[in-house]
Amino acid sequence: MKKRLSTLIMSILLVAFVLAGCKDTTKDDSKSPTDDGSSNKQKEITIGFVPMTLNNEYFITMVNGAKQKAEELGIKLDVQAADQHASAAAQLTIVENMITSGVDGICIVPSSSEGLSTALTKCKEAGIPVINLDTKIDQSILDEVDFEVPFYGTDNYAGAKFAGAYVIENFEKGIETAILTGIEGQQNAADRRNGFFDAAGSHVNVVAEQSANWEVDQGYTATQNILSANPNIGLIFASNDGMAIGALRAVEEAGKKEDISIIGFDAISEALNMVEKGDMYGTVAQYPAEMGILGVENMVNIINGEDSQEYIDTGAKLITKENVEEHKKYCEQFAE
């Protein structure tokens, strides 16, 4: 009897032990590596986006394209800009603040290559990749800093040549012409001036050439001065639409709207409306939204260690009354 009781007790203990073991095993299996919410959590990517300014619709369109791509990819975009096109010092401060805040990469439209040298050095030291949009940084500066920076933007020389070729086909040889150029020393400014001049230089008579620093008011003032000294001008090539709009205001005030044709560059909406109305003869379209989209897309690839493109020509096209409606429809998808 005593032996049977001992056997029964041992059996009960064995069953209890097995059940306890099963319970513990079940508990262990249910534990996930992500229970603490950290081991599988993706780091949020933040890209600093620095257009030359946000006082220009062209750069607003670029930012809108970048924002659309950032939202699609689920990353954060930190957009900051200087007040003026020529605010190189302000851009340096913005980049330094972005480095301090810990952005993962920076897309920038430089106001000045020389002014950006210090910023590039600091990005390199901090291990922050940079993509250059729209206005190419001088290769001498990149060589000096020893920093590889991809570039995505318009072939401005080719775009300006489109305008020059159109002038040859549509204007009389020898027409007195003024050229408004951008910020001196900028590659874009040089490429647009040279592209137009190389295409139309032998066909037109360039009697005035002046920098208006991409600004509307300076385009207005420069044109006033040019018209005073050159009353027979028949054509103005402005290297951006802002300066072209300023030039148009000066031409209208001088009562010469019917005598002077104006061609701009950038194809912002105000210029497109002027082309449609016949107030502006034409404008060379760039695709700033594509620059923003491609900048964000490739920067995410760089940050993730994936393949990215070193150079992308985002294209250019001359817009006249014949194709302005088509281009306005394209631009609507990136409007505010």
pLDDT for 231-272, tens place per residue?
Answer: 999 999 999 999 999 999 999 999 999 999 999 999 999 999
pLDDT for 271-301, tens place per residue?
Answer: 999 999 999 999 999 999 999 999 999 999 9
pLDDT band at 28 (very low <50, low <70, confident <90, very high): very low
pLDDT at 188: 86
Query: What is the mean pLDDT of the segment spanning 194-222?
Result: 96
Phi, psi of 263 (to 5 degrees): -120, 130
pLDDT band at 42 (very low <50, low <70, confident <90, very high): low
Length of the chain: 336
pLDDT over threshold 60, residue 196: yes
Contact 137, 188 (CB under 8 A): no
pLDDT at 282: 97
Quote the CA–CA distance of 100 and 34 in Å, as a whole number: 31
pLDDT for 76-93, tens place per residue?
Answer: 999 999 876 667 788 889
pLDDT for 127-176, tens place per residue?
Answer: 999 999 998 888 899 999 999 999 999 999 999 999 999 999 999 999 99
pTM: 0.75
pLDDT over threshold 60, residue 38: no
pLDDT at 85: 62
pLDDT for 91-109, tens place per residue?
Answer: 889 999 999 999 999 999 9
Contact 105, 47 (CB under 8 A): yes
pLDDT for 51-61, tens place per residue?
Answer: 988 988 889 99
Q: Which residue has the higher pLDDT, 11 or 275?
A: 275
Contact 182, 192 (CB under 8 A): yes
Q: Measuring CA to CA, which residue among 195, 221, 189, 223 is closest to residue 208?
A: 223
pLDDT at 148: 93
pLDDT over threshold 70, residue 321: yes
pLDDT over threshold 80, residue 32: no
Query: What is the mean pLDDT of the segment spanning 9-34?
Result: 41
pLDDT at 1: 44
Q: Is 178 helix (H, G, I), strand (E, B) or coil?
A: strand
pLDDT at 12: 45
Segments in the chain forming alpha helices (H): 2-30, 57-73, 88-101, 113-126, 139-145, 156-170, 187-200, 216-229, 241-253, 269-277, 288-303, 324-332
Residues sharing a CB contact under 8 Å with residue 325, sequence separation 6 or more, in sequence order: 276
